[in-house]
Chains A and B, each alone.
Chain A
């Protein structure tokens, strides 16, 4: 159906920015309207990139889990009970790429994007479990340097994840500093 959603979003944002916001004098409604305009810009970016970013992220997480599992099962980290326990957890990717784990009675995902979001969330939860396992394993001084290498690998992934997230969320950022092109002032 035309116009496409991204075309409509562009139109809505234009109308908010050029017509609606300049006509609002009350501070709070003006602040709300500017928030709406920023959210519309964010939605435009999501429409454009979200599916691809989620797929990339899922693939990177599956690769990261394989890498971590290999590290955690080699000496000296193989001696850690908590890391071994994490390795025994079923990684979300093991259920089939792109397929989200669902609880009993939980509805099936309604769209490709929803399925990707659920799959991504399950993997992020699995990575949180890995980080917490490393926290515990790190209490053993003998494992610290090996854990530090794993953390560097995890942080490199997290940096890439953040770069993707930031690209989508940037329109909603606020700044308290002097006006800059990429961030809106905290004021109305």
Chain B
């Protein structure tokens, strides 16, 4: 086992430590070497790191990249343990829903100085919004938009009943529970981490509790954090869906709210997206439910931002990126939720 050069309070991962761990979990890759470990930009729920590696395969030096997901040094900022998204990847890998191959989940702090963490293969491509929004790429955007709608249909028709997901995901027993089960989780998380009294959030949660959609077309796997920036595309094709930490079982319309919140209608007009989606999976689009879940998603994001704020305030992190998120996310989302509800 390689010596750990950073302690748990630092944010850097040592290439030597990562190399030793990858060789441990991938013994079939001969003479594995890690040349670079670097942190992905953006993201709030967890840190994402990339490790550039090479190894011998049938006498040929082969290169590849692995992704490491780990909670922030100050702890998780979402009410979902890291293993949750790993188990979702395990359930989905090999299905019609494209995800990166999960490699290993690790609880041992001594490997890289941080734990728990998990490793997955990095799917070649980019999630970069600016690649999509570059001038002259209208055809790419339309094509990616159509693919996105069909893949969301695949997520929502995924047979979760026989996938192992019900071992850890609560199953709603009614249409109303599709919203309220998740709402309770996020409201409790919000209350546990709120750093100051926020009447805007009190009023928003009050509304959400009193107005859950009374009907759902079916209970589906809900991706949770959907949209531009959370799928990887390569050479004009979407090759992987990412960011499964907010996944759960519930109303598929919640994903449309998240997707539109994250601007998928800048790829293709919403009406066209809905048409492609319904044609692919038969699930009708309920725009009233989407309106409700817009505000729900805003409340979810604000709830996620509070642990970010408290980690900044109590000194667990001094990173400027945390300070920016602590300001940018809650006020943007509160404003967006109020406008959505016509307040």
Residue of A151, A166, A176 most packed against chain B (CB within 10 A): A176
Contact of B229 among A32, A162, A186 (CB under 8 A): A186
Given A128-B197, A132-B202, A161-B200, residue A28 in contact with residue B38 (CB < 8 A): yes
Closest to B210 in A: A138
Distance, CA A174 to CA B197, complexed state (A): 24
B343 in contact with A121 (CB, 8 Å)? no
Contact of A185 among B130, B199, B324 (CB under 8 A): B130
- How many A-B pairs have beta carbons closer than 8 Å: the answer is 123
Distance, CA A172 to CA B263, complexed state (A): 18
Distance, CA A174 to CA B336, complexed state (A): 13
Q: Does B334 contact A (CB under 8 A)?
A: yes
Q: Does B331 contact A (CB under 8 A)?
A: yes
Chain A residues within 8 Å of B198, by CB: 124, 128
Chain A residues within 8 Å of B209, by CB: 135
Q: Does A178 contact B (CB under 8 A)?
A: yes
Those of B189-223 within 8 Å (CB) of chain A = 196-200, 202-203, 206, 209-210
Task: Name which of B78-86, B96-104, B286-294, B315-323 contacts chain A.
Answer: B315-323
Closest to A36 in B: B320
A175 in contact with B38 (CB, 8 Å)? no
CB of B339 to closest CB in A, whole Å? 9
Closest to A124 in B: B197
Given A162-B338, A176-B227, residue A151 in contact with residue B203 (CB < 8 A): yes
Q: Please encode chain A, from 147 to 181, with 1 for each CB lying within 8 Å of some chain B CB and 0 for all others.
A: 00001001100110110011011101111111100
A172 in contact with B266 (CB, 8 Å)? no
Given A42-B327, A166-B335, residue A131 in contact with residue B199 (CB < 8 A): yes
Query: Which range contains the number of A residues in contact with the other chain?
Result: 35 or more
Distance, CA A19 to CA B343, complexed state (A): 42
Distance, CA A132 to CA B198, complexed state (A): 12
Distance, CA A9 to CA B323, complexed state (A): 17
CB of B95 to closest CB in A, whole Å? 26
Q: Please encode chain A, from 13 to 31, with 1 for each CB lying within 8 Å of some chain B CB and 0 for all others.
A: 0000000000000111011
Chain B residues within 8 Å of A154, by CB: 199, 203
- Interface size of B by CB at 8 A reads 39
Q: Does B170 contact A (CB under 8 A)?
A: no
CB of B125 to closest CB in A, whole Å? 15
Distance, CA A172 to CA B325, complexed state (A): 7
B196 in contact with A121 (CB, 8 Å)? yes
Distance, CA A125 to CA B335, complexed state (A): 19
Those of A121-136 within 8 Å (CB) of chain B = 121, 124-125, 127-128, 131-132, 134-135
B42 in contact with A177 (CB, 8 Å)? no
Given A31-B41, A169-B331, A173-B332, residue A159 in contact with residue B343 (CB < 8 A): yes
CB of B294 to closest CB in A, whole Å? 14
Chain A residues within 8 Å of B320, by CB: 32, 35-36, 39
Distance, CA A135 to CA B203, complexed state (A): 9
Given A124-B196, A169-B332, residue A176 in contact with residue B129 (CB < 8 A): yes
Distance, CA A187 to CA B133, complexed state (A): 12
Given A31-B41, A121-B196, residue A162 in contact with residue B335 (CB < 8 A): yes
Beyond A31-B41, A185-B130, list 6 extra A-B contacts (CB 8 Å): A39-B320, A127-B197, A154-B199, A158-B199, A162-B335, A173-B331
A-B contact pairs, 10 of them (CB 8 A): A27-B39, A27-B41, A121-B197, A124-B199, A127-B202, A131-B203, A158-B200, A173-B332, A176-B229, A177-B262
User: Can you list the 4 inter-chain pairs with the closest CB atoms, starting with the nearest?
Assistant: A172-B328, A177-B263, A125-B197, A169-B331
Chain B residues at the A interface, C-beta cutoff of 8 Å: 38-42, 128-130, 133, 196-200, 202-203, 206, 209-210, 227-229, 262-263, 266, 319-321, 323-325, 327-328, 331-332, 334-335, 338, 343
